[in-house]
Amino acid sequence: MTRAKATPKRRRNGEGGLFRRSARDARVKVKKPDGTVETRTRHVPERWYYQRMVNGRQVTISGRTEAEVLARRDEIDAPAKAGRDVSADKRKLTVETVLNRWLADYEAQMKAGEKAPNTLRTYRLLVRNHIVPALGRLHVRTLTTQDVNRWLTGLDLADSTRRKCRAVLVTAFAWGETAELVERNVARTSKVTSRERVAESAFLTAQECQRLREAIKGDRLEALYLLILGSGLRRGEALGLAWSDVDFAAGTVRVRRSLTEMPGGKPVLGQPKTGSSARVARVLPFALDALRRHWESLTVVPMDLSEALVFLSTTGTPIFPNNLTRDFAIVTRRAGLGARHVHELRHAYAAEMLRRGVPLHVVSRQLGHSSVAITADTYGHVQPTESDALLAVGETAFSQVGNVMR
């Protein structure tokens, strides 16, 4: 009597890539402590698998039971139906890999003139020294906001540096979302718990500005220092100004370029730091007067004002940003203020405007910050007094003591 051939179980719709490997005994070689190799038998339990092709690659998930594999099948099918890449490489993607790809993309944009070299240098420094050592090996898919918060809390750095580290991670993951490498930007919901406030002494006070004004009288770069103090421009923005950007009648300067120093020491004119950095900035009267005197002192009027830089070195070339920082430190030491950074002139401007009651969003726009939150974080300790407009304080800013800044 012949037995009827068993009909194989029909798979349900969508289970075409599902299969099972039966339990079996496998022979494996084990190296013993004495160096000899012994063959042993190991029992391999039954295991279920699900496979399918995604973006030209075969992706596999496995589990102990059929139900477990079918439950996890959505890890492949749901994103694939939405057109997203869910290859095995992506599921094992590390934070370091995403950061490196983002930096490579940023560098390509920098070479195209869309990003600032100094910003890329800062990003690389923060990534290499602070982010990768702690988070680099973690899988992006399993990283949580709690992981990021623990990392930020554990950093033995100033609040401002920890905020920069967080901002870099948020920006990199946002790029990863656009590139379909990151499912969710967990860094965006993280938070830097403040440990300190920016000290008042971090900015030049009105009295220190008076002493500085006395020290830079007649200095070749007097107009440059006063411009930064009277407008809040960044160092590179002031060095990148052309004469066509200066509007004496309106009392403004147009920020459209920034001068940065490339690796190897070559000064390059490029785009400002951020999109909001390109702006028209108002200049306080004492700084505008200094600019006008600087213009009148020119022995030769440039033919092309759109390309003629306002500030040049003694040899007629662009001023290296680092050279300006060095020269300013010499001036501040001469004024008895110690070695100070030229960026403190920008801080002094912002603090003075806020102290006199200029609205935060107005100061933020004048400084070219990408958001008001950055201005609030940096200058949150400054207590405003009564006043309500930038022009209203223009005549008296930095002049409480002897009215020297005029």
Say which CATH superfamily domain 202-394 falls into.
Intergrase catalytic core (1.10.443.10)
Question: Which residues, 6 or more positions from 228, have their beta carbon under 8 angstroms from its beta carbon?
Answer: 235, 238, 342, 345, 346, 349
Intra-chain end-to-end CA distance of the chain, in Å: 116
- In angstroms, rounded to a whole number, what is the distance separating the alpha carbons of residues 266 and 80? 47
Say what the pLDDT of residue 29 is.
Answer: 77
Length of the chain, please?
A: 406
Percent of the chain at pLDDT > 90 equals 32
Residues 281-305 have a mean pLDDT of 89
CA distances from 101 to 91, 104, 107, 124, 144 (A): 16, 5, 10, 12, 20
**pLDDT tens digits, 372-406:** 888 887 776 675 654 344 544 555 566 544 443 34
How many alpha carbons fall within 13 Å on the CB side of residue 54?
26
Residue closest to 236 by CA, chosen among 294, 264, 285, 277: 277
Domain ranges in the chain? 25-84, 95-189, 202-394
How far is it, in rounded angstroms, from Cα 401 to Cα 203? 17
pTM: 0.56
The architecture in CATH of the region 95-189 reads Orthogonal Bundle (1.10)
Question: Among 111-120, 219-228, 320-329, which range has the highest average pLDDT?
Answer: 219-228
Contact 379, 369 (CB under 8 A): no
